[in-house]
Structure 1
Amino acid sequence: MHPAPSVIIFSSLSGAGFGLLFFLGFGFPTVTGWVAFVFYLIAYALAVGGLMSALFHLGNKKNAVKSYSQWRTSWLSREAWCAVAALLVMGLHAALQVFFGTTVAPLGWIGAILSLATVFTTSMIYAQLKTIPRWNQPATPAFFLAASLAGGALLSGNVDAALILMVVLGAITAWHWIKGDRRFAEAGSTIETATRLQGRVSLWEKPHTGENYLTHEMVYQIGRKHAAKLRVIALALMVVIPVAVLLIFGPHHMPAIVAVLSHLAGVLVQRWLFFAEAEHVVGLYYGAHGAKRAG
C-alpha cells in the first residue's frame, strides 16, 4: 500500500506516547511536581500529536466525529473511545501528581491499561484486514504493543526494562517480516480467485491506461533489494543502536536522548515498510503480486 506520512507519524508517535503513559500510570517512575509535568507533557505531546496527525489522512475532516458511533463493530471507533478514556483518566492522574503531589495508584493502573488498550485497538485496525494478508496475523498487534512498551520504557527512564523490551521488539519485528513474506501465498488469493474465472488466467491488458485511486493507494510496490536494506536500517536504528548506546554509556542524559531519537527513527522506518510492503488483494486485478520485483 502507499505509505501515507500522516498515518506513519500517527502510529509511531502516539504509540510511544501511550507507552510512556502506561509506565507513568504504574508509577515507573513515581514523580510529582514539575518533574511529573515534564514527563506528562512529553507523553501527551506524542500521543495527542500523533492522533492529530491522523486527521490529515481524512478526506473530510468533519467526519472524524462519526468514528465514535460504530464502536460495536469498528476497531477504529474502539480506538477513538479508548484514546479519549485513556487521556482523560491519565490527565486526572497527572493533575493530582503535578498540582497536589498525590498519587492515586488505582487511577493510574486504569489509565495505564486504557493506554495499552488504545495501542492494541490501533493494531487491530490493520490486523483484522483479510484483504491484506501481511497484516492479518498475530505478529501485527504484537509488534505494535512491543514498540509502544519499548518506546515508553525508554522515555520513562526504565533502562533495564527498555533493554529487554527492545530485544523483544527486534525478535517480533523479524517474526512479522518472515511470516508476512509468506502470508499472501498462504491466504490463497490468486488472479483466478480475484476474477472468479475458471482455469489458468493471465492479464492480457491492464484495466486502466492511467493511474486511479486503487492503483495509487493499494498497488504500491517496493523492490526486494530496497526493502531488505530498509529492514536492516530499521532494526539498527530501532534496536541495535539504542541498546549499544545504553550498554556502553549508561543511562545518562545525552546517551538516553540519542537512544530515544534513534529508536523513534527506527520505528518510523519500520512503519513505512509496514505500509509499503503490504500487498492488497485488489492488486491481483491490476496484474500485481504475480512475481516479486527484483529491485
Structure 2
Amino acid sequence: MHPAKSVIFFTTASGAGYGLLALIIAANIGGLFPNDFWLAFTGYALSYVLITAGLLSSTFHLGHPERAWRALTQWRSSWLSREGVMAIFTFLPTGLYGLHHLFFPYLLPGVMALVGLIGILACIVTVYCTAMIYASLKPVHAWANRYGPIGYLLLSLMSGSVLLNGLLAVFGYAATVVILLAVVALFAALVWKIAYWRFLDGTRSISTAESATGLGEFGRVHLFEAPHTEANYLMKEMGFQIARKHAAVLRKIALGAGFILPILLILLGLTLGGAGLIVAASLAVIIMAIGIVTERWLFFAEARHTVGLYYGASHA
C-alpha cells in the first residue's frame, strides 16, 4: 500500500497524544502527578496539539476533505465514522477534566475523577477505532489480523509514557513509576513488533490469482498482458511495493530507534539524574519519534492488497 505522509503523521501523532493525555489524567487521579501548573498545562497542550494536528492531517488524504464531516453519519457500519465520533466526544470529558485539574482542583473531586475515567476510556476507544479502520479491511492480509489493534494500543501507551517521562524530566521531576511504565511499554511493543513481522513473513492471504479470477479449475493463472499502458489509481495506491533489502534495513532502524535505544536512554537517565536525566529523556523522545515514523511507514509499505493479484503480483 502507498504510505501517505498524512496518514503516517495522523497515526503517530494522534496515538501519542491520546496516550499522553490518558496517562496525565490517570496519574492525577491516582495522586501521582506533581503539583505543578505549568507542567500540567504543557502536558495537556502538547496532547491536544498532537491529537488535533493528527486528526486534521488525516483529512488531507481524502479526495474531498471538505466533505469529511459526512463520514460522521455512518457510525453504525464504519470504523472510520466511529473514530470521528469518538475523537470529537473525547474532547468533552478530557477537556472538562483538564480545566478541573488546572484551575479548579478542589471542586467536586469525586465527580471529576469519574469524568476523568470516562475521558481515559474514550482515549482508549478512539485509538481502538483507528486500529479497526485497518483491521477491518479483509483484502489486506497484513492488517486484517489480531496484531493490528493490539499494536495501536501498545504504541499509543508507549509513545505517551515516553513523552510524559520527557516532560517530567524537563520540569525537574523523576517519577520512577513513569520510568518503569515507559520501559515496560517499550519492551512490550518491541515484542509485539517482532511477533507481527514474523507473522507477516510466515503467512499469506488466502486469496490467490486463481481464486481472484475464478479460473483456478483450469490450472495456474499468470498475467499475460496488462490491461492498460499506464499506472492507474489502484496500482499507485494499492500496488506499492518495497524491495526486500530496503525493508530489512528499515526494520532494523525501526527496532533500534523506536524501541531499543529509548529503553537504554531512559534507563541511562535514571542512573545519571540531574542534567543527564533531562538530556537522556529528551533524546529518547526524539529517537523514538524517528523509529515510530519508520515503523508506521513500513506498516503501510509492506501491506499488500489483493487487487495486486490482477496485476501480476505473486501473492497478497
In 1, Cα distance between equivalents of 2:143 and 2:203: 8
| Map of 2:53 onto structure 1 | 49
- Amino acid in the other structure paired with 1:214: L
- Distance (Å, rounded) in 1 between the aligned partners of 2:38 and 2:57: 28
User: Aligned partners of 1:59 and 1:202: how far apart in 2?
Assistant: 33
Please say if residues 26 and 105 of structure 1, whose CA atoms lie closer than 8 Å, have aligned partners that are also in contact.
no
* 1:180, distance to aligned residue in structure 2 (A): 1.7
Equivalent of residue 214 in structure 1, options 217, 229, 234: 234
Q: Are 1:240 and 2:240 counterparts?
A: no
Taking the TM superposition and a 5 Å limit, the aligned residue runs for 1:89-168 are: 89-102=93-106, 104-157=112-165, 158-168=178-188
Q: What is residue 21 of structure 1 aligned with on the other side? A: 21
Kindly indicate whether the alpha-carbon contact (under 8 Å) linking 2:162 and 2:182 is maintained by their aligned counterparts in 1.
yes
Compute the TM-score of the two structures, normalised by the length of structure 1. Answer: 0.94
Give the residue type in structure 1 aligned to 2:162: L
Task: Write the distance in 2 (CA, Å) between the matches of 1:127 and 1:262.
Answer: 28
Conservation of the 8 A alpha-carbon contact between 2:80 and 2:133: yes
1:189 maps to 207
| Structure 2 counterpart of 1:85, from 60, 85, 89 | 89
In the alignment, structure 1 residue 227 sits paired with structure 2 residue 247: yes
Which residues of 2 match residues 256-267 of structure 1 at below 5 A? 256-267=281-292
Looking at structure 2, the residues matched to 179 and 289 of structure 1 have their Cα atoms a distance apart, in angstroms, of 18
Does structure 2 conserve the Cα–Cα contact (< 8 Å) formed by 1:2 and 1:218?
A: yes
The answer to whether the 8 A contact 1:32-1:98 is kept is no
In the alignment of these two chains, the number of paired residues is: 289
Q: 1:289: how far off?
A: 3.2
Q: CA deviation at 1:242?
A: 0.6
For 2:210, the aligned partner's letter is: E
Gaps of 5+ in 1: none
Distance (whole Å) between structure 1 residues aligned to residue 200 and residue 92 of structure 2: 36
Question: Is the Cα–Cα contact under 8 Å of residues 143 and 173 in structure 1 kept in the other structure?
Answer: yes
**What residue is the counterpart of 1:73 in the other structure?**
77
CA displacement at 1:63 relative to structure 2: 1.4
Distance (whole Å) between structure 2 residues aligned to residue 181 and residue 139 of structure 1: 13
Which structure has the greater CA radius of gyration? Answer: 2
Secondary structure in structure 2 of the residue aligned to 1:27? helix
Aligned position for 2:200:
180
Show the counterpart of 1:38: 42
CA distance in 2, matches of 1:169, 1:106: 29
Distance in 1, Cα, partners of 2:39 & 2:58: 29
* C-alpha distance in 2 between matches for 1:128 and 1:119: 14
CA distance, structure 1, for counterparts of residue 74 and residue 36 of structure 2? 38
Secondary structure at the counterpart of residue 26 of structure 1: helix
Establish whether residue 254 from structure 1 lines up as the match of residue 254 from structure 2. Answer: no
Identity of aligned residues (%): 42
Shift of 1:227: 0.6
Cα drift, residue 264 of structure 1: 1.5
Q: Post-superposition shift, 1:26?
A: 1.1
Q: Which amino acid aligns with 2:103?
A: F
Deviation, 1:207, is 1.7
CA contact (8 A) 2:97 2:116 kept: yes
Instruction: State the shift of 1:290 in Å.
Output: 4.8
Alpha-carbon shift at residue 267 of structure 1 (Å): 0.8
Tell me the secondary structure at the aligned position of residue 27 of structure 2. coil
Q: State the AA in 1 paired with 2:266.
A: L
1:7 corresponds to: 7
Structure 1 residue 71, shift from structure 2 partner: 0.7
Q: Secondary structure at the match of 2:76?
A: coil
Task: Check conservation: 2:268, 2:280, Cα contact below 8 A.
Answer: no
2:190 corresponding residue in structure 1:
170
Instruction: Determine if the alignment matches structure 1 residue 281 to structure 2 residue 306.
Output: yes
Would you say the 8 A contact 2:142–2:200 is kept in 1? Answer: yes
Question: What do residues 162-186 of structure 1 show as CA deviations (whole Å, max 9, x unaligned)?
Answer: 00000000000111111122342xx
Cα shift readout 1:187-238 (whole Å, capped 9, x = no counterpart): 3211111111132211111122111000000000011111111011001011
Query: Displaced runs of 4+ in structure 1, greater than 4 A?
Result: none
Task: Report the AA paired with residue 158 of structure 2.
Answer: A
Distance, in Å, in 2 between the alignment partners of 1:12 and 1:120 is 14
